[in-house]
């Protein structure tokens, strides 16, 4: 069996990418919530923007409109599997793929079709370094982080650290706010509360500019790595927006 193994060179690549602030968009597909928790956190801590889905059908719809830099998928996806998803992905892209599964799930087809296998339980350091190794030498499709996952228009009243605001767009990775004042320079994440959803999240300011009305400000914010429950609730909210 050929398994992906963390190695010193890949560890150096991962550290260099993180130090240089290089951020890639990664799609994570896994119906089993247990490995998702560790995998998602490991990738976010490495500075990547991660979108998580649970089904083969959802993933195939997603990749038709989005452009991930890398796919991490579980092997067992109901009636289909991670190899099927990898082949579907490869129809239009040479995007690298990591397949996650039990050691007994390993098959040479993964290697034959150019995938990398990471066994469960997932070792976060191994996953980060394997991903870094696969991405080494590849330019991010969105190097400035300007594009988030699947933005949707909305109108939700919110509070940003005691300042009234409106959430005007949401995505898996963040949200766009309309504020009565400029958000100002900040290093720490800001607390955003949406009373109607009984939800509070932390997000980093990525950009801000005056709105066209000349009286308010627009602000783009990226979710800080929250606890898994809050992140999953946020994704449910994004999916429910029509």
How far apart CA 129 and CA 5 sit, in angstroms, is: 9
What was the pLDDT predicted at 108? 94
- Structural domains of the chain, with CATH: 8-135 (3.40.50.2300), 152-240 (2.40.10.220)
Cα(217)–Cα(210) distance, integer angstroms: 4
Residues 26, 16: Cα–Cα separation, whole Å: 18
Overall pTM surpassing 0.75 (yes/no):
no
Dist CA 171 CA 1 (whole Å): 39
CB 78 within 8 A of CB 31: yes
What is the rounded CA–CA span in Å between residue 124 and residue 118?
Answer: 10
The two tokens of residue 133 are 């190794």
Q: Are 131 and 97 in contact (CB under 8 A)?
A: no
pLDDT number for residue 67: 76
pLDDT tens by residue, the chain, 242 residues = 444 444 555 455 555 555 455 578 899 998 887 777 788 888 877 878 888 888 898 888 877 777 789 999 999 998 899 999 999 887 777 889 999 999 998 999 999 999 999 999 999 999 999 999 999 888 887 765 555 556 778 889 999 988 999 999 988 778 899 999 888 776 678 899 988 888 888 888 888 889 888 899 999 888 876 555 666 677 777 766 65
- The rounded distance, in Å, linking the Cα atoms of 242 and 239 is 8
Residues 53, 239: Cα–Cα separation, whole Å: 11
How many CB atoms neighbour CB 157 within 10 A?
12
Sheet holding 97-101, edge to edge: 49-53, 25-29, 70-74, 97-101, 116-119
The predicted pLDDT at position 2 comes to 42
Tell me the β-bridge partners of 148: none
- Give the pLDDT of residue 104: 92
150: left (phi over 0), alpha (psi -120 to 50) or beta: left
Q: What residues form DSSP beta bridges with 51?
A: 27
- Enter the tokens of residue 24: 């890639």
pLDDT of residue 6: 46
pLDDT on residue 35: 73
Cα(205)–Cα(184) distance, integer angstroms = 9
Report which of 31, 34, 73 is spatially closest to residue 228, judged by C-alpha positions.
34
Q: H-helix or E-strand containing 201?
A: strand 199-210
Q: How many whole angstroms separate alpha carbon 174 and alpha carbon 216?
A: 20
Short-list 128, 170, 151, 111, CA closest to 12: 128
């Amino acid at each position: 069996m050929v398994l992906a193994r963390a190695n010193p060179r890949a560890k150096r690549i991962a550290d260099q990418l993180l130090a240089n602030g290089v951020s890639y968009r990664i799609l994570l597909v896994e119906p089993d919530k247990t490995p998702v928790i560790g995998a998602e956190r490991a990738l976010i801590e490495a500075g990547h923007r991660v979108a998580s889905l649970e089904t083969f059908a959802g993933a195939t719809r997603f990749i038709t409109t989005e452009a991930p830099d890398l796919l991490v998928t579980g092997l067992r996806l109901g009636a289909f599997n991670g190899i099927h998803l990898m082949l579907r992905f490869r129809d239009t892209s040479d995007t690298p793929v990591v397949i996650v599964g039990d050691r007994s799930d390993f098959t040479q087809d993964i290697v034959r079709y150019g995938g990398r296998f990471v066994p469960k339980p997932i070792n976060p350091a191994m996953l980060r370094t394997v991903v870094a190794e696969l991405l080494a030498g590849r330019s991010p499709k969105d190097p400035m982080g300007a594009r988030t996952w699947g933005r949707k228009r909305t109108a939700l009243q919110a509070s940003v650290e005691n300042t009234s605001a409106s959430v005007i767009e949401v995505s898996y990775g963040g949200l766009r706010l309309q504020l009565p004042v400029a958000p100002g320079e900040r290093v720490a994440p800001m607390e955003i509360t949406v009373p109607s959803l009984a939800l509070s999240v932390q997000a980093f300011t990525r950009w801000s500019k005056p709105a066209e009305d000349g009286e308010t400000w627009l602000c783009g914010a990226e979710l800080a790595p929250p606890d898994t429950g809050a992140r999953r609730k946020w994704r449910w909210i994004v999916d429910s927006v029509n």
